[in-house]
Amino acid sequence: MNKFLEQFDLTHEKENYRDVIKTIENDVASHGANLWILIFAIFVASLGLNVNSTAVVIGAMLISPLMGPIMGMGMGMGINDLVLLRKSLFSYLLQQA
């Protein structure tokens, strides 16, 4: 029975807490590759709207780099980090405009 329960143990795959926070903080900023990906996602979404294709618009949402700021907002609220929350919210609103 112990061997069976060991198969579902997640503790050996647990990431370092500080590494997770650092990765999320780095993904919040809108610069470099994220801006290029956002520009191409806008082009793909515009194309999808022009040809009236729901699948293309959904594809544009999938390649959009908005997940970084959204995860940053969630992490900021979860650990009560107002600096990260403010940075994430600003980045999210900047990319939405």
pTM: 0.66
Q: Which domain holds residue 88?
A: 66-97
Residue 84 lies in a domain: yes
Structure tokens at 85: 């929350």
Residue 18 lies in a domain: no
Say whether both 80 and 58 belong to one domain: no
Radius of gyration of the chain (CA): 18
pLDDT digits (tens, 9 = 90+) for 7-56: 888 888 888 889 989 988 888 887 777 788 888 998 999 999 999 999 99
Total number of domains constituting the chain: 2
